[in-house]
A and B are shown apart, each in its own frame.
Chain A
Amino acid sequence: MADKVHHPSSLPELQALMSSTTYVAVDFFADWCPPCKQIAPIWTKLAEQHTVPGQLAFAKVNVDHAQDVARAYRVTAMPTFMFFKEGKQVAVHGQAMIQGADPRAIMAAAEKLNGLAKKRAAEA
């Protein structure tokens, strides 16, 4: 079963995802970073549980492979989680980004976004 996490490898790809989906949650990671590996299964699970087609998508960006993306968003620590609404960075539960492998903060953000996404899907 393919996982629901998107893997944009360039800025245009990420921007395309942001154009097609209202809310996008992005995990910026690196292959050599142990905390990123710790959080990876949690991110996959959140994508499984909370993706709402057209309204909420979960993405992972490898900062070494998609350097244009990492630079555009000035990612300096991994993992960094950012949240976007209609292409613009937004704060969820007061945080525009989460730095570090913080499972509880990430799960809370995913749940909040899911609630917002479902509301928009119902209104659409």
Chain B
Amino acid sequence: MTALQKGDNFPSGVTFDYIPHTNDKTSINTCGVPIKYDASKEFASKKIILVAVPGAFTGTCSEKHLPGYITNLTRFKEKGVDQIAVIAYNDAYVMSAWGKAQGVQNDDIIFLSDTNVSFSKNLGWLKGERTARYALIVDHGKVVYAEKEPAREVTVSSADAVLAELA
């Protein structure tokens, strides 16, 4: 059980569950089906921000943490970020609904479930039985930033903090 540090390679064999975004028109309904997201494979060829939050739809996560990433998306893209992956303890259905509730309408920000919290558990970054609050910058398989919140506030894992790390 080792936390990731700047300079580490992103571990292999990491997968999450998620429901990919579909183009729902307001008069059309679709039911999503979770599929596996091979993070190790995807992260090897992209510049990704991985943000972990304790819970979808919860107060701080919905009001103080995630919105920073949504509003700053353009700035992230300007710094070469391909995608932002948000993970939490919730299942893929809840994560998908949270993304829709937050108004995310494409794949720039994806909502993944840390199934059985296995990834966060391997890092040792849990909050009770939930995922803790942390952020990683993974650039083509290399961990460039890995910080876990020391307390309840959103500081080192906030969008602003992560943006500052992206040269």
Q: Is A74 an interface residue (CB 8 A)?
A: yes
Q: Select B22's contact among A32, A74, A100, beta carbons within 8 Å.
A: A100
Q: Is A79 an interface residue (CB 8 A)?
A: yes
* Given contact pairs A34-B29, A35-B29, A76 touches B35 in the complex (Cβ within 8 A): yes
Asked if B28 and A78 sit within 8 Å, CB to CB, the answer is no
Tell me the bound Cα distance from A53 to B109 in angstroms.
46
The DSSP consensus for interface residues of chain B is loop
Taken residue by residue from 42 to 70, chain A's Cβ proximity to chain B (1 for < 8 Å, 0 otherwise) reads as 00000000000000000000010000001
Q: Is A101 an interface residue (CB 8 A)?
A: yes
Number of contacting residues on B, CB 8 A?
13
Asked if B23 and A78 sit within 8 Å, CB to CB, the answer is no
Asked if A100 and B28 sit within 8 Å, CB to CB, the answer is yes
Q: Is A111 an interface residue (CB 8 A)?
A: no
Q: Which residues of chain B are near A99, meaning CB under 8 Å?
A: 22-23, 28, 30
Q: Nearest CB to that of A36 among chain B residues? A: B31
Q: Is A92 an interface residue (CB 8 A)?
A: no
Give how many A-B residue pairs fall within 8 Å (CB-CB).
49
Q: Which residues of chain B are near A30, meaning CB under 8 Å?
A: 31, 33
Asked if A100 and B30 sit within 8 Å, CB to CB, the answer is yes
Q: Is A33 an interface residue (CB 8 A)?
A: yes
Q: Which residues of chain A are near B78, meaning CB under 8 Å?
A: none
Q: Is A102 an interface residue (CB 8 A)?
A: yes
Q: Which residues of chain A are near B31, meaning CB under 8 Å?
A: 30, 32-36, 77-78
> CB within 8 Å of B: which of A9-38?
30, 32-36, 38
Tell me the bound Cα distance from A80 to B20 in angstroms.
14
Q: Nearest CB to that of B29 among chain A residues? A: A35
Taken residue by residue from 8 to 32, chain B's Cβ proximity to chain A (1 for < 8 Å, 0 otherwise) reads as 0000000000011011110011111
Q: Which residues of chain A are near B19, meaning CB under 8 Å?
A: 76-77
Tell me the bound Cα distance from A78 to B59 in angstroms.
31
Question: How distant is B34 from chain A, measured CB to nearest CB, in Å?
Answer: 8
Q: Nearest CB to that of B32 among chain A residues? A: A77
Taken residue by residue from 125 to 140, chain B's Cβ proximity to chain A (1 for < 8 Å, 0 otherwise) reads as 0000000000000000
Q: Is A40 an interface residue (CB 8 A)?
A: no
Asked if B25 and A100 sit within 8 Å, CB to CB, the answer is yes
Q: Is A75 an interface residue (CB 8 A)?
A: yes
Q: Nearest CB to that of B22 among chain A residues? A: A77
Q: Which residues of chain B are near A63, meaning CB under 8 Å?
A: 33
> CB within 8 Å of A: which of B28-45?
28-33, 35
A-B contact pairs, 5 of them (CB 8 A): A36-B31, A74-B35, A76-B22, A76-B33, A78-B31
